[in-house]
Homo-oligomer: A and B are copies of this chain.
């Protein structure tokens, strides 16, 4: 999931409101029917429940993701959506395996950790090394190779919004590896957490050795930072069985209500059907899938047929590869020029705070 500024669409919403009387009044009754149906409908909740409770996590390459794809396509057909297809997508397969992180000095304590998606593993005996703690990349560079070589770098970067802070998760391993670090521990990219570590993808640079990388909880990162600042020697031990296997077959799931006047013009909406492996993937992104899918299903159940084609797409492998989105672009081919809108929900399903909107000119 990429978080966005949720409020930047506000001026456009005001413009839309002013324009409503002139151009939207004809749709008001229909819109009201859809809203009323949505407010009393529990089909979206039932879908979310099935994704989370009956299927569980849906990491790329897992049996659970396969089951999710099959179930969603079958349900779309049963509900009467049209042109239900599951175009094949080859996806990376990363498996976490057993993993743990410990502080060994100045006292022995288990750290709350999660390996980062895509990370290489450690040797079986783990990596035990002195920790060096930095808040940001500038501090790391200032330390230099002499003080980083052979160490485990701990990035204690506080939350400064997703876009800025996530750089330490995605680039931290390679930035530290270039200076000779053996592994990195990254403070979880979140403003709050009850000692909850957060996983997510990392990106290895081509010009640096691949070293193991894990997230640790905010609390544990702050503790290591406090101990280091007191001049104490902090030693950590990291064990990760993480590895990347052969790629596997997955699929996007697509269903439609064909348009009555301009069926070749497409409004696509959706979420990503895959998730990380350490939860149920409820917010990220079963809720997006369920909301987009049920929006189309409500239109269908009201017997409405829109002027343009309404297409729901549950993209596979957003988390660790973006293969589903790219495969969709290829699958759509030239028809992508006739996509009139694309609506994606991948920001969780808590209380609605606003909308984000990106408008691009024709290319």
B226 touches A107 (CB 8 A): no
Interface residues as binary, A229-248 with B (CB distance below 8 Å gives 1, 0 otherwise): 00000000000000000000
A106 touches B54 (CB 8 A): yes
A53 touches B223 (CB 8 A): yes
A49 touches B196 (CB 8 A): no
Name A49's contact: one of B49, B54, B107, B226 (CB within 8 Å): B226
Interface residue A87 (Cβ < 8 Å from any Cβ of B)? no
Interface residue A144 (Cβ < 8 Å from any Cβ of B)? no
Interface residue A167 (Cβ < 8 Å from any Cβ of B)? no
**Residues in B neighbouring A194, C-beta threshold 8 A:** 193-194, 196
Q: Other than A55-B107, A195-B196, A223-B280, give 14 A-B pairs with Cβ distance below 8 A.
A: A49-B226, A52-B223, A53-B223, A53-B226, A53-B227, A54-B106, A54-B107, A56-B109, A64-B107, A193-B194, A194-B194, A194-B196, A195-B279, A196-B196
Residue of chain B at shortest CB distance from A226 = B53
A5 vs B147: C-alpha distance when bound (angstroms): 52
**Residues in B neighbouring A64, C-beta threshold 8 A:** 107
B193 touches A56 (CB 8 A): no
Closest 3 CB pairs of A and B: A194-B196, A194-B194, A53-B223
**Residues in B neighbouring A195, C-beta threshold 8 A:** 196, 279
**18 A-B Cβ contacts within 8 A?**
A49-B226, A52-B223, A53-B223, A53-B226, A53-B227, A54-B106, A54-B107, A55-B107, A56-B107, A56-B109, A64-B107, A193-B194, A194-B194, A194-B196, A195-B196, A195-B279, A196-B196, A223-B280
Tally chain A residues at the interface, Cβ within 8 Å: 19
Interface residues of A in 198-229 (CB under 8 A from B): 223, 226-227
A278 shortest CB reach to chain B, Å: 9
A279 vs B223: C-alpha distance when bound (angstroms): 12
Residue of chain B at shortest CB distance from A52 = B223
**Residues in B neighbouring A279, C-beta threshold 8 A:** 195
**Residues in B neighbouring A196, C-beta threshold 8 A:** 194-196
Residue of chain B at shortest CB distance from A227 = B53
A133 vs B111: C-alpha distance when bound (angstroms): 33
Interface residues of A in 91-118 (CB under 8 A from B): 106-107, 109
Interface residues as binary, A55-66 with B (CB distance below 8 Å gives 1, 0 otherwise): 110000000100
A123 shortest CB reach to chain B, Å: 24
A100 shortest CB reach to chain B, Å: 13
A106 vs B53: C-alpha distance when bound (angstroms): 9
Interface residues as binary, A249-290 with B (CB distance below 8 Å gives 1, 0 otherwise): 000000000000000000000000000000110000000000
**Residues in B neighbouring A54, C-beta threshold 8 A:** 106-107
Residue of chain B at shortest CB distance from A223 = B53
**Residues in B neighbouring A223, C-beta threshold 8 A:** 52-53, 280
A68 vs B333: C-alpha distance when bound (angstroms): 68
A66 shortest CB reach to chain B, Å: 13
**Residues in B neighbouring A107, C-beta threshold 8 A:** 54-56, 64
A107 vs B67: C-alpha distance when bound (angstroms): 12
A98 shortest CB reach to chain B, Å: 12
A212 vs B196: C-alpha distance when bound (angstroms): 26
Interface residues as binary, A72-95 with B (CB distance below 8 Å gives 1, 0 otherwise): 000000000000000000000000
A46 shortest CB reach to chain B, Å: 10
Interface residues as binary, A14-55 with B (CB distance below 8 Å gives 1, 0 otherwise): 000000000000000000000000000000000001001111
